[in-house]
Structures are given as C-alpha cells and as structure tokens.
Structure 1
Amino acid sequence: MKKMLPEVFKGYDKPAERLAVHQRIYFSDGTYKGTQYIPTALGNAVYNHLKRRGWLAPQSTTGAKEG
C-alpha cells in the first residue's frame, strides 16, 4: 500500500503521513524506544473501509498471538 500512496497523493513529500503521523518514543532515561504511528482521520477511515471489505484482518488488542 505504501508504494501506491505517491500516486494517490501526488506532490506530497511524505504521503504515508496523510494516513498516520509518527511520534518518537523515549524511555524515562532518555534512550530511544521506538516510533509510534498515530492514525489520522483519513487513516482511520481507510483502515475501517479495508477491514469492512475483508482486506485486513482485525488486529488483536492484547498483543498475544491467536491460535
């Protein structure tokens, strides 16, 4: 999907940021922990549409592997 975004959002430097913005996360001691992606309203709408069509499996909220 990320490869298709430049065609959808022509002229936009970072098309993935139309669907989610990133935020760097740090531990309390100041060391880098990782990146959190926060969906935009458009990103949520796209996700819900793809999920309704059955193109995406629902994500687990516990983080545990199913099965």
Structure 2
Amino acid sequence: MILYKDVLGKLLAAGYTTYRIRKEKLIPESTMQKLRSGGIVTTDTLDTLCCLLHCQPGDLMEYVEN
C-alpha cells in the first residue's frame, strides 16, 4: 500500500495554501481530495508536486506492506 507523507503540510510550508493552489489551478480539487484521503494520484500529479516542492517522489510517499 502506498501512503502519502503529509503532502498538504509540505505544500503549506512551501507557501502553497489550498486557496492558492485552486486560484492558480496548480492541482485540481478532485486530486487534492485524493491526497487528503490517501487515494491514487497520477504520475503527472506527482510530477507537479515534485516541481512545486523541489523534491523526489520518495519524499512524498512510501510503500507499506499490508
């Protein structure tokens, strides 16, 4: 199972509030909801997140055995 490592907190710390993300259309609201609930996001979304946060995908998620 893939778990996200507080992606929304990392975005907020980098200055990306949910308001700013919506206003600048950086990430769709449906995708933000998936991140909140631990849903599956696309590699395009991971690319956007890594670009915004200047990080690697492994900094945003981890694999945990069931």
For the aligned pair, the TM-score class normalised by the smaller chain equals: 0.3 to 0.5
Calculate the TM-score normalised by the size of structure 2: 0.32
| Bigger Rg, which one | 1
**Greater strand share, structure number:** 1
Higher relative contact order, structure no. (Cα contacts within 8 Å, ≥ 6 residues apart): 2
**Greater helix share, structure number:** 2
